[in-house]
Structure 1
Amino acid sequence: MKLNNITPDPLVSDKKSLKNINEPNEDAKLVVLQSIGYPFLCNLVENPKIEIFDKELFELYAKEQWEGSVVYEGSFLFDQKLLPDFAFKIVKAHPDNSKITSKTSILLVEVPESAEIKKIESSVKMEDVIGQERAKTKCKIITMYLKEPEKFKEWAPRNVLFHGTPGTGKTMLAKSLSNELNVPLYLVKATSLIGEHVGDGARQIHELFEMAAANAPSVIFIDEMDAIGLDRKFQSLRGDVSEVVNALLTEMDGIDHHNGVVTIGATNNPHLIDFAIRSRFEEEIEFTLPDEKDRKAILELYIETLPLKTDFNIEKLVKCTKGMSGRDIKDRVLKVALHKAIFEDQEIITWGHCKYALKQHKIKLNEPKGMFA
């Protein structure tokens, strides 16, 4: 007799009725587990650390005792053999409320504590990214895929490279995709993947992709790709990152197993990235510096949120900020002008404060003679 070894998670807000739990919709194709320990014994029993060296063997072990069990996300499965009553939380069941069979794929993931690999919450909307219309248009394919991952199969946009000048909206656009589609975003800087010990970086990358797969559809955003993906002739500048690169290539090549996961790499220097990595990106999306129309829109947007009133010619400032990114306009011009006004105990930001900010950062103005008059 098989036991339905399942207990509802009291922390799950959208609880399902026991009637629905005992009436699975269909057979489970994938079940992703996270080892929890003995959550109901508080501090009475020390939770042993589970390390799985043979994932295929664990899968056979899991099926042997849990075949026939009904699974849904947020519930628990309990071991009754090697570690009686040891709990495994179901972080992903596909489809949800289904039954484990001999054909179910069972994966165990360990969620890392690293702050760099946590789900990012964002309120950024697509309309907050001013300009970059070509980039937004190209992102439509990502949007469609994340809405219906199973529809795309081998046509999925799994690996995409964002490149362009710093501050042009690469990270903002990724956040807006995640927010508007209500899918998890895992944002990491490539430099944080280089661990202190051999194997640290590779482990973090594998855990990152396992987390994303367990919570698919989802987006992985790896910033500063050139930090680990330098062309081989430059890699000596950053030390030995071969294990990190190899782990990343393995995940990018095998990402067809991570249905509903899009990996977005971002860099300011695409020409420095090694061909082996760059060739894995099926699509490259360039982010350009804002033109005059976009700079005006950026200025108007930021000026509305300034804590002081302004009294200067926006058109004049638009021309002075040619060649600057949206972030430069905010941080190098408006923020410095604001601080200058506050230092002078002024209640209004004037053209003189903007002029100070522009000169402070040695901005080449290319203005007609007398512009500062």
Structure 2
Amino acid sequence: MPATDFKKELAALIKARFPIIYIVTWEEKRFVDTVKAMLQDTSLFNKPRPVWEWTVVDGYLKNNRLEKGDVKTAMRALEVADELEEDGVLILKDLYAQLANPNCEQNIIRKLKDLVWRIKEGDWLKTIIITGHDKFIPDALQKEILIKEFSMPTADELQQVLSNLIEQNKQNQRLRFELNANATARLCEAAFGLTLNEAENAFALSLVNDGVLDINDITTIAEEKKQILHRNGLLEFSMPKLKMQDIGGLENLKRWLEKRADSWSEQAKKYNIPAPRGVLITGLPGCGKSLTAKTVSTSWNVPLLKLDMGAVFSGLVGSSERNMRTVIQTAEAMSPCVLWIDEIEKAFSGVGSSGDSGTATRLFGTFLTWMQEKEKFVFVVATANNIDYLPPELMRKGRFDEIFFVDLPTRAERKVIIDIHLKKRLTHPEVLGNLKLDDSFIDPLVEKTEGFTGAELEQVVIGGLFEAFSENRPIAMDDFITTIDNTVPLVVTQSEKIRAIRDWANVRAVSATAVNHKITGNPAADTKKPDEEASRGGRSIEF
């Protein structure tokens, strides 16, 4: 929510005489500054109103000056708020610590309940605002206190921080600022999801590293953001270097993604098209699902946030729900971005079962609601190996835009994959020797690796290189053949599982690879068609 919208909404609540409001925020100072500016805005209020700030250290401050003597206990702070005969807003910064205590004193709960009606029916226009970094409200007060979240800084606020930094340091001859309007906008966009203090630190660090602040400092800001996210352990931030060209095959999926690049831009709004919500990629292990998730952010030039669902499920009562809210808030604050949930079936497989204590069901409900109603551009890429474990509600239209099935690589895809890995690793002339990586060398490997996954093809190349390395000689065809002969592919060890997944995908998913005909359902038979472009699971779609 933009800062102006928040001010208008909070002003409306104050004028409507909402007695107690709980604001969730990590930025006390920015919030207090916003409230002070709001109460001085004559377009919102007929006359200015004072702001009182209370902490357990200083007691009450009014206009940054100590007021009301030694008021350092929560109970006494509430009594003073009750006794105050003056219009105004009282911001209680440290009361959340009392409310967060499972053994919150009953006299504090009772005093807050009484204050609700005394303020409503009193002669003075008073509002109590409690600030905290999370929702710490005892059950007895859930119906008495309104909860609102103070959003992360907007682009305009981040730009103001950057402008202030430049203004304060422009006289320093050892520092240079090489920023035009586009570079400034890009730096501020890179700082989305940071508090004003964190953003200022990131800008300052970028400046002192080399004495120059320019568009190249996006990398420094991204690294700082990565470190900040790493502290909560829920999201892993990265800007992968992988490209779509690094994926062999999966042309349907890649073209689908390419058509939706920049779909959150101003240009896209002219077409009145909604930004894509996300995709669910299912299929066999080692066939490129995770690799695709990483390449989406690179192709779209947006950050990648990887969600650790294991960290979300905390052992403390209420912690898991709080962690999920933190994930959603952080992802939306960093919009536009890609949110990758790997092996999503492991997170939500127990929903609704007798072994579920209710936590998984609540988290699943929160996630579904957000997927359905989110307005910020957070593109969710969920990958799953076993689709049978996923609740059916997750797969209906409106959650994900499409469900793609990734099968074993076709002959053409195997050729591309082997070529990618050979050229990636055979870079030294002494290792390559007289070998030429042309069709005459690659085609025999393609024929012998029928039924291999993409991960298995990579290991064929790595295994062949180890054969040559162990004898300190150039690579030879026999090195790869030896590795292939010693490999038992997934199609052999899990043939029944592959058949079941393909049967499911035939009617419920779209093939990630362009297809010519339906599969037989027999993995062993399907892998004996080297000249056919592929036996694939999943519906074919045209582009």
TM-score (normalizing by structure 2): 0.47
Residues 301 and 158 (structure 1), Cα distance of their counterparts in 2 relative to 1, 3 Å cut: same
Give the match for residue 316 of structure 1: 444
- 1:172 deviates by 2.6
* Contact in 1 for aligned 2:320/2:359 (Cα 8 Å): no
* Contact in 1 for aligned 2:281/2:289 (Cα 8 Å): yes
Within a 5 Å distance, the mapping from 1:103-252 to structure 2 comes to 113-148=231-266, 151=269, 155-230=274-349, 232=351, 236=355, 241-252=360-371
Aligned to 1:313, what secondary structure does the other structure show?
helix
- 1:274 deviates by 0.6
Give the match for residue 486 of structure 2: 360
Residues 185 and 291 (structure 1), Cα distance of their counterparts in 2 relative to 1, 3 Å cut: same
Aligned to 2:348, what secondary structure does the other structure show?
coil
- 1:338 deviates by 1.8
Q: 1:81 aligns with which of 35, 39, 53?
A: 53
In structure 2, distance between residues paired with 1:178 and 1:288 = 23
Q: 2:35 aligns with which of 64, 67, 74?
A: 64
Residues 178 and 96 (structure 1), Cα distance of their counterparts in 2 relative to 1, 3 Å cut: farther
Residues 224 and 82 (structure 1), Cα distance of their counterparts in 2 relative to 1, 3 Å cut: same
Aligned residues: 301
State yes or no: 1:93 paired with 2:154: yes
* Contact in 2 for aligned 1:28/1:94 (Cα 8 Å): no
Within a 5 Å distance, the mapping from 1:285-300 to structure 2 comes to 285-300=404-419
Residues 196 and 353 (structure 1), Cα distance of their counterparts in 2 relative to 1, 3 Å cut: farther
TM-score (normalizing by structure 1): 0.66
Aligned to 2:264, what secondary structure does the other structure show?
helix
Residues 153 and 213 (structure 1), Cα distance of their counterparts in 2 relative to 1, 3 Å cut: farther
Q: 1:336 aligns with which of 460, 463, 472?
A: 463
Residues 80 and 154 (structure 1), Cα distance of their counterparts in 2 relative to 1, 3 Å cut: farther
* Contact in 2 for aligned 1:202/1:248 (Cα 8 Å): no
Amino acid aligned to 1:67: M
In structure 1, distance between residues paired with 2:346 and 2:276 = 23
- 1:289 deviates by 2.7
In structure 2, distance between residues paired with 1:239 and 1:323 = 42
* Contact in 2 for aligned 1:225/1:267 (Cα 8 Å): yes
* Contact in 2 for aligned 1:138/1:285 (Cα 8 Å): no
* Contact in 2 for aligned 1:149/1:156 (Cα 8 Å): no
- 1:329 deviates by 0.7
Residues 362 and 130 (structure 1), Cα distance of their counterparts in 2 relative to 1, 3 Å cut: closer
- 1:95 deviates by 5.1
Residues 240 and 203 (structure 1), Cα distance of their counterparts in 2 relative to 1, 3 Å cut: closer
- 1:141 deviates by 4.9
Residues 192 and 328 (structure 1), Cα distance of their counterparts in 2 relative to 1, 3 Å cut: farther
* Contact in 2 for aligned 1:189/1:224 (Cα 8 Å): no
- 1:222 deviates by 0.6
Superposed CA deviations along residues 122-144 of structure 1, whole A, max 9, x for unmatched, are 11112222211100122245423
In structure 1, distance between residues paired with 2:273 and 2:323 = 26
Give the match for residue 377 of structure 2: 260
* Contact in 1 for aligned 2:282/2:289 (Cα 8 Å): yes
In structure 2, distance between residues paired with 1:91 and 1:299 = 46
In structure 1, distance between residues paired with 2:3 and 2:317 = 41
In structure 2, distance between residues paired with 1:68 and 1:338 = 70
In structure 2, distance between residues paired with 1:324 and 1:198 = 45
- 1:149 deviates by 9.0
State yes or no: 1:275 paired with 2:392: yes
Aligned to 1:81, what secondary structure does the other structure show?
strand
In structure 1, distance between residues paired with 2:354 and 2:262 = 36
- 1:205 deviates by 2.2
Amino acid aligned to 2:154: A
In structure 2, distance between residues paired with 1:360 and 1:238 = 46
Superposed CA deviations along residues 305-357 of structure 1, whole A, max 9, x for unmatched, are 325327593211111222222222112x11122223323x2322333322332
Aligned to 1:348, what secondary structure does the other structure show?
coil
Question: Whose Rg is larger?
Answer: 2
* Contact in 2 for aligned 1:28/1:93 (Cα 8 Å): no
Give the match for residue 472 of structure 2: 346
In structure 2, distance between residues paired with 1:329 and 1:319 = 12
Aligned to 2:282, what secondary structure does the other structure show?
strand
* Contact in 1 for aligned 2:235/2:307 (Cα 8 Å): yes
In structure 2, distance between residues paired with 1:238 and 1:162 = 28
Superposed CA deviations along residues 101-131 of structure 1, whole A, max 9, x for unmatched, are xxxxxx9989752345132121111222221
Residues 233 and 216 (structure 1), Cα distance of their counterparts in 2 relative to 1, 3 Å cut: closer
* Contact in 1 for aligned 2:305/2:338 (Cα 8 Å): yes
* Contact in 2 for aligned 1:163/1:170 (Cα 8 Å): yes
Which gives a bigger RCO, structure 1 or 2 (Cα 8 Å, sep 6+)? 1
Residues 90 and 277 (structure 1), Cα distance of their counterparts in 2 relative to 1, 3 Å cut: closer
Which structure dedicates a bigger proportion of its chain to helix?
A: 2
- 1:267 deviates by 0.9
- 1:53 deviates by 5.6
* Contact in 1 for aligned 2:350/2:356 (Cα 8 Å): no
Residues 273 and 153 (structure 1), Cα distance of their counterparts in 2 relative to 1, 3 Å cut: farther
Give the match for residue 104 of structure 1: none
Aligned to 1:64, what secondary structure does the other structure show?
helix
Give the match for residue 17 of structure 1: none
